[in-house]
């Protein structure tokens, strides 16, 4: 009987459990300061919709750093790695989701890698140990990176119950991620995370 | 004809990988050349610098009456050439021009590096040539410049003077969870005289480097040693006959903890023969030391660096029961830096001493002292940096009385530096 009522109300437009609505997450640290570069993934109970592979994805190497530091791409995306530095880079990943090695000559040389399996790809450069970045390959359209104020906004999250995961390279948790259930109809959430200090690198520069 | 074709085919097959490697290489493009240098204003009081065969601890000298003297100077210019062949092989050659109270030009470093693609848990790298072992926490970059201040600590000033051998070293590193461990072993030659300057002049604080094959002049020698040691030392030298016949070694372990703390332990032994002497009467100085280093980030913008070094050097014959020179040396510093945007302030305190129990160099040459340094650094752009540094050093050495000076001396030095790099 209650189920019939819900269906009836949904029909008249008063309640719509699956109706998409904006959803905002703010990621902060334990002191309340915003946390950027956190990846928020929401998977509705009814199943996640895959992200479209349409656009081009790029991780550049400039001033001996990867840009961006954290990037979300859909499973099946191809990412290009242009080298804008005047020195060579030897980009690699040993992550289970994708193991690869790219030799990039100085200035403007670009190679591409296709990422099919969802997971976290940790990037490094064999020549410059201090270079580090992450690609998050996702199977959910509701995956995004927090901005410098800690905000992630999804304009069209289904209103049904969902599971939310937050990942950050320095998050103090197994796999650097935490999960929490998201009740149906939630429109905003603040998540406090504990972060490790970023790693130090040997500065001798040999 | 057939033999000719085969010969050409064989030659082509041989040369194919060579030309492929050449295509991978970058030997002389602007990408592998860099130049860095600085101009500075140096104001110092107190004793004349050790550069003038005196006991002054700094690169700057006071005026005749030991009051402040201000001088514009060329600090140094470093031309760095880092050719690359493939992705694993490279070389570093640094030519240096040093100004100030003694102008000299020469070679700072020249070594080949090999860094093959790492394995998932293991990495290996190697270097061979003329190079500073990785002791200093205060130096960085191919030009081995001072990172946080203008003047390095007494420990790393000495490393720049007397600890740059011809070496071959290998480093193996691994990650175990959030821990990172690396071990380095080096075998070296041409560092038999290390310890001479440290014993006969004492510790000093300056950013001058000993250039390859150059001599360092010594202050007035103890009377008993005058006929047994020239008024100079050549830090890059094999005293015993037969180059690298009796090599020295060093070993280092570095441990990066899961928290932002890095600990390093370094041991050095030049294995020189204290009785070996060459035709210039330069002796083998058996020098051994241990160095412990620590880097810790204690806040988002505050970093602590500390080093402590303790060692000894032996030279000459036993007469009657003590060697001519039997010196123990030690020093330690603590450096804190605070980064605020493009600016960084640094403060360092340090202690140093030498203790002589030889038959020719005795307690009169003992030294004890301390120094404090405050520095401000501002990065104007990727190419320009401004630095200001105030340094005060106090040292006591009874030997000064023989030259008519008080045994305890104080020196203050202010440096304003404009540093550029391309």
* A197·B297 Cβ contact <8 A: yes
* B262·A202 Cβ contact <8 A: yes
Within 8 A by CB and 6+ apart from B140, the residues are A203, A204, A205, B147
Residue B320 preceded by cis peptide, ω within 30: yes
pLDDT at A157: 86
* Interface contact B385, partner A, CB < 8 A: no
How does pLDDT run across A36-69, given as a tens digit for each residue? 999 999 998 888 788 887 788 999 999 999 999 9
How does pLDDT run across A92-120, given as a tens digit for each residue? 999 999 999 999 887 767 889 999 999 99
Share of chain A above pLDDT 70, in %: 88
User: Measured between CA atoms, how close is A93 to chain B, in angstroms?
Assistant: 9
Task: Write out the two tokens for A8.
Answer: 């009836």
C-alpha A8: how far from chain center:
38
pLDDT tier for residue B27 given thresholds of 50, 70 and 90: confident
* A205·B295 Cβ contact <8 A: no
* B140·A205 Cβ contact <8 A: yes
CA atoms of A15 and A7, how far apart (whole Å): 9
* Interface contact A32, partner B, CB < 8 A: no
CA dihedral B354, B356, B362, B367 (to 10 degrees): 10
Within 8 A by CB and 6+ apart from B332, the residues are B155, B306, B307, B308, B309, B350, B351
Q: How far is CA B23 from CA A70, A162, B18, B261, in A?
A: 33, 54, 9, 41
* Interface contact A94, partner B, CB < 8 A: yes
Tell me how many degrees the CA angle A136-A138-A143 measures, rounded to the nearest 5: 90
pLDDT tier for residue A205 given thresholds of 50, 70 and 90: very low
* Interface contact A47, partner B, CB < 8 A: no
Residue B13 has pLDDT above 50, yes or no: no
Q: In chain B, which residues have their Cβ closer than 8 Å to the Cβ of A91?
A: none
How does pLDDT run across B44-85, given as a tens digit for each residue? 999 999 999 999 999 999 988 878 999 999 999 999 999 999
Q: Scan residues 148-167 of A and list those with Cβ closer than 8 Å to B.
A: none
Query: Helix, strand, or coil here: B23?
Result: helix
pLDDT at A203: 53
pLDDT at B410: 96
* Interface contact B259, partner A, CB < 8 A: yes
Within 8 A by CB and 6+ apart from B206, the residues are B57, B58, B59, B151, B157
Residue B387 has pLDDT above 80, yes or no: yes
**Nearest CB to B31 within list A86, A90, A198:** A86
pLDDT at A10: 43
pLDDT at A75: 93
What's the start-to-end Cα distance of chain B, in Å? 55
pTM of the entire predicted model:
0.89
**Nearest CB to B118 within list A63, A126, A206:** A126
**Nearest CB to A126 within list B117, B258, B259:** B117
Residue B21 has pLDDT above 50, yes or no: no
* Interface contact B328, partner A, CB < 8 A: no
Tell me whether strands B139-140 and B179-189 are parallel, antiparallel or unpaired: unpaired
What DSSP line would sit under B98-114, residue for residue?
Answer: E-TTS-EEEEEEEEEEE
pLDDT at B401: 93
* Interface contact B113, partner A, CB < 8 A: yes
Q: How far is CA B414 from CA B62, B314, B339, in A?
A: 11, 36, 21
**Are residues B22 and B15 in contact, defined by beta-carbon separation less than 8 angstroms?**
no
Task: Write out the two tokens for B235.
Answer: 């830090």
Element (H, E) at B196: helix B196-200
**Are residues B54 and B48 in contact, defined by beta-carbon separation less than 8 angstroms?**
yes
Query: Helix, strand, or coil here: B82?
Result: coil
Under 8 Å CB pairs connecting chains A and B tally to 55
* Interface contact B179, partner A, CB < 8 A: no
**Nearest CB to B259 within list A94, A126, A197:** A197
* Interface contact A31, partner B, CB < 8 A: no
Q: Which of A52-56, A86-90, B300-304, B322-326 has the lowest mean pLDDT?
A: A52-56
pLDDT at B360: 93
User: Measured between CA atoms, how close is A201 to chain B, in angstroms?
Assistant: 9
User: Measured between CA atoms, how close is B255 to chain A, in angstroms?
Assistant: 11
* Interface contact A126, partner B, CB < 8 A: yes
- Give the phi and the psi of residue B139 in degrees, each rounded to 5: -110, 155
**Nearest CB to A90 within list B87, B125, B136:** B87
CA atoms of A134 and A59, how far apart (whole Å): 10
Return the residue of B nearest to A86 by Cα: B31
CA atoms of B201 and B264, how far apart (whole Å): 28
Residue B319 has pLDDT above 90, yes or no: no
Share of chain B above pLDDT 70, in %: 95
What's the full length of chain A, in residues?
A: 206
Q: Which residue has the higher pLDDT, A158 or B393?
A: B393
**Are residues A45 and A18 in contact, defined by beta-carbon separation less than 8 angstroms?**
no
* Interface contact B141, partner A, CB < 8 A: yes
Task: Write out the two tokens for B377.
Answer: 């650094």
Place of tokens 């915003």: A34
User: Measured between CA atoms, how close is A145 to chain B, in angstroms?
Assistant: 22
CA atoms of A22 and A144, how far apart (whole Å): 14
- Give the phi and the psi of residue B13 in degrees, each rounded to 5: -65, -40
The residue of B108, B117, B335 whose CB has the most chain A CBs within 10 angstroms, and thus the best one to mutate to test that interface, is B117
Return the residue of A nearest to B30 by Cα: A86
How does pLDDT run across B199-223, given as a tens digit for each residue? 999 999 999 999 999 999 999 999 8
How does pLDDT run across B363-378, given as a tens digit for each residue? 999 999 999 999 999 9
């Amino acid at each position: 009987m209650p189920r019939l009522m819900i269906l009836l109300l949904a029909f008249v437009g008063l309640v719509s459990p699956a109706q998409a609505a904006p959803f905002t997450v703010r990621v902060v640290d334990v002191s309340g300061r915003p946390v950027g570069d956190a990846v928020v993934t929401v998977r509705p109970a009814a199943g996640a919709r895959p992200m479209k592979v349409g656009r081009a994805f790029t991780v550049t190497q400039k001033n001996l750093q990867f840009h961006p530091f954290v990037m979300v791409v859909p499973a099946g995306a191809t990412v290009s790695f242009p080298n804008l530095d005047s020195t060579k880079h030897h980009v690699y990943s040993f992550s289970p989701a994708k193991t690869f090695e790219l030799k990039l000559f100085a200035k403007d040389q670009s190679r591409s890698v296709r990422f099919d399996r969802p997971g976290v790809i940790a990037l490094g450069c064999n020549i410059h140990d201090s270079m580090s970045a992450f690609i998050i390959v996702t199977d959910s359209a509701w995956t995004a990176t927090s901005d410098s104020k800690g905000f992630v906004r999804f304009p069209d999250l289904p209103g049904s119950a969902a599971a939310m995961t937050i990942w950050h390279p320095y998050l103090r948790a197994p796999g650097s991620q935490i999960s929490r259930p998201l009740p149906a109809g939630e429109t905003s959430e603040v998540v406090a995370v504990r972060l490790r200090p970023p790693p130090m690198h040997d500065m001798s520069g040999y | 004809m057939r033999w000719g074709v085969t010969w050409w085919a064989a030659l082509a097959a041989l040369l194919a990988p060579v030309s492929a490697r050449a295509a991978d290489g970058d030997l002389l493009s602007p990408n592998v050349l860099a130049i860095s240098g600085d101009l500075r204003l140096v104001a110092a009081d107190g004793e004349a610098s050790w550069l003038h065969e005196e006991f002054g601890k700094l690169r700057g000298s006071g005026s005749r009456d030991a009051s402040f003297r201000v001088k514009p100077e060329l600090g140094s210019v470093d031309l760095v050439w880092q050719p690359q062949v493939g992705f694993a092989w490279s070389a570093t050659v640094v030519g240096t021009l040093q100004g100030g109270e003694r102008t000299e030009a020469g070679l700072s470093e020249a070594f080949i590096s090999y860094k093959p693609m790492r394995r998932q848990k293991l990495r290996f790298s190697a270097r061979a040539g003329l190079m500073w072992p990785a002791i200093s926490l205060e130096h960085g970059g191919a030009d081995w410049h001072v990172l946080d201040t203008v003047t390095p600590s007494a420990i790393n000033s000495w490393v720049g003077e007397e600890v740059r051998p011809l070496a071959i070293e290998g480093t193996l590193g691994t990650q175990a969870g959030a821990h990172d461990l690396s071990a380095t072993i080096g075998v070296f030659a041409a560092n038999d005289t290390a310890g001479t300057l440290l014993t006969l002049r004492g510790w000093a604080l300056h950013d001058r480097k000993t250039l390859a094959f150059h001599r360092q002049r010594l202050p007035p020698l103890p009377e008993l040693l005058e006929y047994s040691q020239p008024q100079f030392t050549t830090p890059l030298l094999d005293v015993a006959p037969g180059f690298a016949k009796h090599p020295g070694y060093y070993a280092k372990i570095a441990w990066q903890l899961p928290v932002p703390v890095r600990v390093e332990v370094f041991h050095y032994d030049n294995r020189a023969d204290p009785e070996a002497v060459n035709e210039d009467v330069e002796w083998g100085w058996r020098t051994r030391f241990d160095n412990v280093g620590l880097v810790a980030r204690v806040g988002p913008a505050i970093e602590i660096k500390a080093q402590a070094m303790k060692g000894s050097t032996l030279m000459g014959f036993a007469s009657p029961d003590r060697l001519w020179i039997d010196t123990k040396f030690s020093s330690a510093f603590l450096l804190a830096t605070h980064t605020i945007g493009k600016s960084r302030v640094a403060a360092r305190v340090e202690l140093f001493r030498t203790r002589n129990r030889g038959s020719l160099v005795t307690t009169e040459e003992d030294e004890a002292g301390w120094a404090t340094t405050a520095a401000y650094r501002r990065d104007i752009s990727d190419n320009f940096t401004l630095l200001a540094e105030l340094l005060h050093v106090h040292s006591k050495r009874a030997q000064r009385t023989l030259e008519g000076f008080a045994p305890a001396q104080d020196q203050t030095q202010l440096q304003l530096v404009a540093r550029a790099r391309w």
